[in-house]
Amino acid sequence: MVSSYSFPAKRGWRGLAIAVLGLVILSLLVPLIFLLGLHNNFHSADVNEDRSSNHVDNQNHGFRNHDPKHQNVIPLKSDMVSKSAHVDDILHRLTPPLSKDVIENSVKEAFNNTVRDAAAHVSKDQNEGHPVLPKLLEKSQLDTKNEGNVIIEATQHMQSVSVDDTKMSCELEFGSYCLWCHEHKEEMKDSMVKQMKDRLFVARAFLPIITKLPGQQKLAREMKQTIQEFEKIFSDATTDADLPPHVDKKLQNMEEIIERAKEFPLDCNYVYRKLKQILNLTEDEAHFHMKQSAFLYQLAVQTMPKSLHCLSMRLTVEYFRSHSLDMELLPIEKFVNPELHHYVLLSNNVLSSSVVINSTVMHSSESQNLVFHVITDGQNYYAMKFWFFMNSYKEATIHVLNIEDVNLGYHDKVIPLHLSLSEEYRVSFRIPSSSQMNTEYISLFGHTHFLLPEIFQKLNKVVILDDDIVVQRDLSPLWNVQLEGKVNGAVQFCDVRLSQLKGYLGENSYSQSSCSWMSGLNIVDLVKWRELNLTDTYRRLLQVQQNKRDASLRVGSFPANLLTFQDLVHPLDNSWALSGLGHNYGVDAHAVEEAAVLHYNGNMKPWLELGIRKYKARWKKYLKRADQFMGECNVNP
């Protein structure tokens, strides 16, 4: 009785044991297969459509070329995506959010989402056998709606997309690099190289088919050998001048091989897919290199040139060497005399500060009344101090301050006590009643500007100058301008109105028709500023923006700036200051001639190699070239 019941139980136990053993084996095999797949880089279906031709594709086509000399012919899309993501990460770390890109980040996010959706749509169409326009993803336009937060939409262009729209899309994605590379574009003499690459791509598409044909091993070997010869040539040649001699014969030989291949019945759909694959990979590679170039450009414009760094270091060393120089005997009474004309300049660049002061003094009729307060950081303080001690600017008085040594009598937790120059923002928005996007540059005060009423407590009025300007007329009449109860006298910038920035200004009350304003040349009534306690207003708005957006100080500074001076900006005549010389190649020549102040706002500063050439001469003529340290450091902007 017992044995009759124990037998089924034993059999059930064995079945359970076998099932558990199977699960254990599967649990070991699945990770092993996965790891082996990673090791061998799983090939996606769109890279190698035919599994039987993997060996030929990998070794001969360049999609995954293991020969070190040929690894850069056409990389896999996965490699390109990883490299592109790496560049994106570096760009994100290099460029602070919203600094010079106020709305651009929202544009990029929506653009990337749209590209992913479009890519999925394109892949679906390909699988269903529907033809897809090769340039579908390129021809997208970014659209904004000013409703609450900025909403970005992407719409597809048809074949009639204009060249200007393409340039604008490039500028939206890569910034002013697109303008610079267009200006410095050099004609590539590579017609023969392009022709050979075209034939190479066609041969790569035909090779897998010819390899499978019975009795055509000789033709396949010849085609494979010719492909390898072309790849070797392209590993060293990018222009026609780099090509080896007798390359015409090689091209003719390739043409003959392709014509022989066309004599056989071929699967046109397979050839189409291969050519489309090569096109997509090539476009991905071109986009990656464009992004990489934009990163290098961004790095160049944010890095101080070696010659200017050398100049600052040499001046600092000479300051501590020159113990015999009595640089502490300064006319302190002039620094606090409200009857004089006080100009405030924030800068960490010795050369640009010198140009601003020199150009201002050269056009002044009463230089003895001019007092320049140069606020800098600890790193450049002694260099600035030594430079302005060794160089005279007629009878003007120059006062150099280290922002890190300023004693405000309290510790400011919101506004950090380190040098913050004027912030520049690139704003992109939709033009009313148009489908086009417009990009403008706005320059606003930095955090340090909001400490000026507390730093200069005995002064009533100052004129604030940015360090990227050049003065072309006497600025003395500015001191007779009546601000009529306003605090900030500035040139208005009506190309960008507050209504277009609704998504960043929030629900605060403001006149939507009001224009934005520009830093660069500003008259500031310090008495009225203190009376309205605008510094505390800015602190409060900055803190609200940080809490609301979880943003950095530089991000929150944009709306806080505009809202702090809401209804407190006195518009100056546009002839006082002309902006755009650091990013706009098309500034009117007559306007440049007539403007009292030229503002080089934008990435292309005049002291950089990347500066716009036709505007540099007006900045360079105010350099003090006789200085020995400039020669030693090879300073020649």
172 vs 551, more confident? 172
Which residues, 6+ apart, have CB-to-CB distance to 13 below 8 Å? none
Residues 85 and 110 in one domain: no
Domain boundary among 303, 326, 359: 303
- Measured in residues, the chain has a length of 637
Q: Report whether pLDDT(373) > 90.
A: yes
Name the most confidently modeled range: 102-106, 412-416, 595-599: 595-599
Q: What is the pLDDT of residues 278-311, one digit of tens each?
A: 888 888 888 888 888 888 888 888 888 899 999 9
- Beta strand extents in 498-537 (DSSP E only): 515-517, 521-525
Residue 234 lies in a domain: yes
Q: Report whether pLDDT(122) > 60.
A: no
Residues 222 and 285 in one domain: yes
Residues 180 and 195 in one domain: no
Residues 431 and 519 in one domain: yes
pLDDT of residue 188: 76
β-strand partners of 571? 490
181 pLDDT tier (thresholds 50, 70, 90):
confident
Helix, strand or coil, per DSSP, at residue 557: helix
386 pLDDT tier (thresholds 50, 70, 90):
very high
Q: Report whether pLDDT(542) > 60.
A: yes
β-strand partners of 463? 343, 523
155 pLDDT tier (thresholds 50, 70, 90):
very low
The percent of residues in the chain predicted with pLDDT above 70, rounded, is: 70
**What domain range is 520 assigned to?**
336-345+410-632
Closest by CA position to 301, among listed 518, 85, 90, 607: 607
Q: What is the pLDDT of residues 8-38, one digit of tens each?
A: 444 555 666 677 677 767 666 655 554 444 4
DSSP, residue by residue, 402-468: EGGG---SS--SSS-SS----EEEEEEEEPTTSS-EEEEEEEE--GGGGGHHHHSTT-SEEEEE-TT
pLDDT of residue 56: 32
Query: Measured at the alpha carbon of residue 194, what is the angle toward residues 188 and 199, in degrees to the nearest 5?
Result: 175
63 vs 518, more confident? 518
DSSP, residue by residue, 165-198: HHHHHHHHHHTTHHHHHHHT------HHHHHHHH
Query: Strand 341-346 and strand 461-465: pairing?
Result: parallel
Hey, what amino acid is at 353?
S
Q: What is the pLDDT of residues 474-505, one digit of tens each?
A: 999 999 999 989 999 999 988 888 877 777 77
622 vs 275, more confident? 622
Residue 577 lies in a domain: yes
Give all strands of the β-sheet with 577-579 in edge-to-edge order: 469-471, 597-599, 577-579
Helix, strand or coil, per DSSP, at residue 149: coil
Residues 268 and 205 in one domain: yes
Query: Measured at the alpha carbon of residue 138, what is the angle toward residues 291 and 84, in degrees to the nearest 5?
Result: 25
121 vs 62, more confident? 121
- HSE-up (13 A, CA, CB side) for residue 136: 17
Query: Measured at the alpha carbon of residue 627, what is the angle toward residues 624 and 633, in degrees to the nearest 5?
Result: 110
Q: What is the pLDDT of residues 565-583, one digit of tens each?
A: 988 999 999 999 999 999 8
In contact, 230 and 254? CB cutoff 8 Å:
yes
Q: What is the pLDDT of residues 212-259, one digit of tens each?
A: 888 888 999 999 999 998 988 888 888 888 888 888 888 999 999 999
Helix, strand or coil, per DSSP, at residue 213: coil
Question: Running DSSP on this structure, what letter comes out for residue 394?
Answer: T
Backbone φ and ψ for 377, nearest 5 degrees, come out as: -100, 175
Q: What is the pLDDT of residues 49-58, one digit of tens each?
A: 333 333 333 3
* Alpha-carbon gap, residue 447 to 418, rounded angstroms: 9
Residues 202 and 116 in one domain: no
β-strand partners of 493? 516
* Gyration radius (Cα) of the chain, Å: 33
In contact, 425 and 499? CB cutoff 8 Å:
no
Token couple for 561: 């700036």
The mean per-residue pLDDT over the stretch 108-124 comes to 46
The mean per-residue pLDDT over the stretch 67-93 comes to 51
Residues 505 and 575 in one domain: yes
The mean per-residue pLDDT over the stretch 421-449 comes to 83
CATH of the domain at 462: 3.90.550
Residue 549 lies in a domain: yes
Helix, strand or coil, per DSSP, at residue 390: helix
Q: Report whether pLDDT(532) > 60.
A: yes
Q: What is the pLDDT of residues 583-614, one digit of tens each?
A: 888 899 999 999 999 999 988 999 998 889 89
Closest by CA position to 327, among listed 337, 339, 338, 315: 315
Residues 198 and 63 in one domain: yes
78 pLDDT tier (thresholds 50, 70, 90):
low
96 pLDDT tier (thresholds 50, 70, 90):
very low
Residues 150 and 59 in one domain: no
CA distances from 51 to 45, 541, 546 (A): 9, 62, 54
Centre a 10 Å sphere on the Cβ of residue 248 and count the other Cβ atoms it contains. Answer: 10
Residue 355 lies in a domain: no
Number of domains in the chain: 4
Residue 205 lies in a domain: yes
Residues 176 and 192 in one domain: no
Residues 549 and 468 in one domain: yes
Least reliable range by pLDDT among 156-165, 204-213, 485-494, 502-511: 156-165
Least reliable range by pLDDT among 95-104, 173-182, 539-548: 95-104
Domain boundary among 185, 217, 251: 185
Domain boundary among 169, 185, 201: 185
Backbone φ and ψ for 141, nearest 5 degrees, come out as: -120, 140
Residues 145 and 16 in one domain: no
Q: Report whether pLDDT(424) > 80.
A: yes
Least reliable range by pLDDT among 166-180, 352-366, 374-388, 458-472: 166-180
Residue 356 lies in a domain: no
pLDDT of residue 238: 82
